[in-house]
Amino acid sequence: MVVLILVFSFVYAEIAKTPPSDSAEIYFLDVGQGDAELIQKGDFQILIDGGPSDAVLSELGKVMPLSDRKIDIIILTHPHADHLAGINLILERYGVGVIYSSGVLNTTNGYLEFLNKIKKKNVSFKVPKAYDKIIPFANSELDFLWPGDKYLKQNLSNLNNSSLVTKFCFFSHCALFTGDIEIDEQASMFEYYTQKNLISLFEAELLKIPHHGSRNGTNEKLLKTVVPKYAVIEVGADNKYSHPHTETVSILKKLTIQTLRTDQGGTIKFELTKTGIAKN
């Protein structure tokens, strides 16, 4: 009973504007060397990161309803430009309901522009705590697993490790989104949840591979904790970092995890229903 209290003590509901439907969609948007993921059901959208450029605008235009000019929830995993720049452009074109981020300190021009825009547009900005859960629409959950407010108003030498790690479930079928969190921070995250006997919260059928497939973001511990059926690497073709690294590709192959890449297949779509999750 104590565990249930821990997990659900922060549950609150978002007002859903979407009509009844028996499926939800997850898109890994082809934005080049950067991250942008869209969760959509009807006219309700959750955008996780915005990529490095205006590419996100054209990709959103392909998959969102033509008359829909609002994104209900935006999650900025961390304030690196390859996750942030597109959000600044989205704030000029779309209404935004609420933005979640870690609140880590950052003084780059792009992040200061982001803060000015959300202030000017009066967009709600929230720093979720560990275990926070919202209900975006019927039969769904969005869990904020890490880092909570650990880095709120803190300077951090490696911003990758301030990445919000979130889990989205529709019925009982789940996807884990990891930003750029690196292996050392993952170890702290897993230890924290192991001590609370909640490590199973990380299990998900679909995993967004951290940090574009870099060797510093993926190891067997991550994959054996999540136990995904599918893994997605968001990465730009012929990028200067040689992402994804050979070590990451090899581990995924060794564990026979079906892996998809935006540099090879463009935008990748999954459909979630009551009975399962499938590449569409």
Q: Is 11 part of any domain?
A: no
- pTM over 0.95? The answer is no
**How much of the chain, in percent, has pLDDT values that exceed 70?**
92
DSSP annotation of 137 reads S
Residues facing 26 on adjacent strands: 39, 270
Please choose, from the candidates 203, 199, 201, 175, the residue with its C-alpha nearest in 3D space to the C-alpha of residue 188. Answer: 199
Q: Is 10 part of any domain?
A: no
Q: Is 16 part of any domain?
A: no
**Number of other CB atoms surrounding residue 197 within 10 Å:** 10
Q: Is 156 part of any domain?
A: yes
Q: β-pairing, 70-75 with 44-48?
A: parallel
Does 35 have pLDDT greater than 90? yes
Q: Is 208 part of any domain?
A: yes
Distance from the Cα of residue 231 to its chain's centroid: 13
Range of the domain at 137: 21-279
Does 124 have pLDDT greater than 80? yes
DSSP annotation of 162 reads G
CATH of the domain at 33: 3.60.15.10
Residues 6+ apart with CB under 8 A from 265: none
Residues facing 208 on adjacent strands: 232
Q: Is 108 part of any domain?
A: yes
| Count of structural domains within the chain | 1
Q: Is 6 part of any domain?
A: no
Q: Average the pLDDT over 237-246 and give the result.
A: 97
Give tens-digit pLDDT for 136-171: 999 999 999 999 999 999 999 999 999 999 999 999
- The whole-number pLDDT of residue 21 equals 65
Q: Is 2 part of any domain?
A: no
Dist CA 125 CA 72 (whole Å): 12
Q: β-pairing, 268-273 with 276-279?
A: antiparallel
Largest CA distance in the chain: 51
